[in-house]
Copies of this chain bind each other. A is one copy, B any other.
Amino acid sequence: MKTNPGRFFEDYRLGETIHHAVPRTISGGERALYHALYPARHAVYSSDEFAHGLGLSTAPVDDLMAFHIVFGKTVPDISLNAIANLGYAEGRWMQPVHVGDTLRSESTVIGLKENSNGKSGVVYVRTKGLNQRDEVVLEYVRWVMVRKNRPDAPAPGAAVPQLAPVVVPEAFVIPRRLHFTRYDFQLAGEPHRLGDYEIGEKIDHVDGVTIEEAEHMMATRLWQNTAKVHFDATFREDGRRLIYGGHVISLARALSFNGLANAQMIVALNAGTHANPCFAGDTVRAWSEVLDKSETSAPGVGALRLRLVAVKHGAPQFALKGADGKYLPEVLLDLDYWALVPV
């Protein structure tokens, strides 16, 4: 057979590294599309002049765009037969990605655990995105539940990796020469500094966006993510296309501009859960909670640890979990990340 059936749980080996296909050179076109698909307004990604004023050569592409491009390449090898995308950890952005860079991805299998039903198992991979100079631009761990092809296939021995519950500030890789010493709050859109945010503070980002099929498919295709469920209305029994979880991440992050305009660059991803599926027609809103704050080694640059929650319209304010500890049905995303903020 010439076509790719995807890998099944029994096809993974602990420690193997998979070199994913189809490198991608990024142009201004991807940046413009990102701005057309999401209400993204963080100034460092929008203006070469603003980025230059922070010590960068030009405006990098949105950190989440880099994430999606790296992630998309892993889909044919990791999640084509996935039942669920279970979580993320230890994500770090190692250097900004600029127009002209060519990205590729590789993933190392760092954990495998068969489910007790014998029909599937959990695969843990550490994925790295590399540029044309073979420098790592970002890395993250994710784990997915993957079907077995043959229920009687022998399962590899269980190995569950120890993952850090949070990326500590000492592990941040701040972009070279980045500083917020001449940060222009007026051009950035809000006056709030690190010191203006309190741990525990919650911010309702107010705005909402109703999603169309064409938009989430164009976004997901742009990342060369090939998962059938996002594109083929005949794939699910209910005739609905499931929206790529990363689309919701980017949408929520963009909405969070309103209240977090100065949370300019994402430096680490601590954890993330796609709590409920999202479909076209849903109106998505977002709220954030300040989980922690930190200084960094770069001049004028602090960091906010933020919980970013995407919800469907109609959710109670700051909706998250019910008394049973489970996510409320209106919650789409619960993301835990660090962003760089002027002190």
Contact = CB atoms under 8 A, between A and B. Distances in A.
A32 B32 contact: yes
A212 interface: yes
Contacts of A132: 48-49
Nearest to A189: B21
| Chain A contact patch, size range | 35 or more
Interface in A203-234: 203-210, 212-215, 217-219, 221-222, 224, 226, 228, 231-234
Contact of A31 (B29, B186, B206): B29
A52 B291 CA distance: 46
Contacts of A29: 27-33
B4 A258 contact: yes
Given A24-B47, A30-B29, A208 B228 contact: yes
Nearest to A206: B3
Contact of A187 (B30, B58, B104): B104
Interface string A6-37: 00000000000001011111011111110111
Contacts of A313: 232, 234
A260 interface: yes
A241 interface: yes
Given A29-B31, A36-B221, A3 B203 contact: yes
A279 to B, nearest CB: 13
Contacts of A258: 3-4, 226
A261 interface: yes
Contacts of A260: 2
A233 B283 contact: yes
Interface stretch (A38-46, A293-301, A327-335): A38-46
12 contacts: A2-B259, A2-B260, A22-B41, A22-B187, A22-B189, A23-B43, A24-B46, A28-B29, A29-B32, A48-B132, A214-B215, A234-B283
Given A48-B132, A208-B234, 19 more contacts: A3-B206, A19-B187, A21-B43, A23-B46, A27-B27, A28-B30, A28-B99, A29-B30, A32-B32, A35-B222, A37-B221, A104-B187, A208-B235, A212-B213, A212-B214, A212-B217, A213-B214, A215-B217, A234-B313
